[in-house]
Structure 1
Amino acid sequence: MITFDAYKTQLGLNILRHRERTGLSLREFGLMADVHPNQVTRIEHGRVNPSLQTLYRIAEALEVDLCDLLPKNDHDVRKNDGQEPNPFHYFL
């Protein structure tokens, strides 16, 4: 079983990957999703636990299903030993 913190981290990385795929800046994306850009950063770095309503707005702004943002299984979740997630994880 994965930890909740590891799950939150992977959720954030999934959001970051989708946002960067669209080419949207934090500011543009925040306006589209009605989420402050600072909050988007905290979500993408796994620092906060976003509400279901916030996740729904994020998914709508990214034009993906909400389930596409969620980690699918333990193998999708990168174990995080308390360090900041690497936002370039998908590009390495």
Structure 2
Amino acid sequence: MEHHTRMHAIKLVPIGNSKGVRIPSRLLKKYGFLNALVLEETEKGLLLREPGDGKLTWEETFQTMAEEKECWDDFEATLLDGVEQDDDDNF
């Protein structure tokens, strides 16, 4: 599956003591943005997305796990905790 990225040049505009961006209405409609957005800081920059339930997608979960660099060496030993092994079983 190909992933196409489109870039839009936008300007920062003053909003009180802050700065903001104007998002074209066709993009707001296209992505279903209504009243609020979530601004995420990522390694690649800022990401605007709709508010969700806070759950990670599978892709985000795997990415987060990879970034944690957690050691899973003892995982197989814990799989069998509390499991009786018969002589006929080959684990």
Q: TM-score range by the shorter chain?
A: under 0.3
| Greater helix content | 1
Structure 1 length normalisation: TM-score? 0.24
Larger radius of gyration: 2
Structure 2 length normalisation: TM-score? 0.24
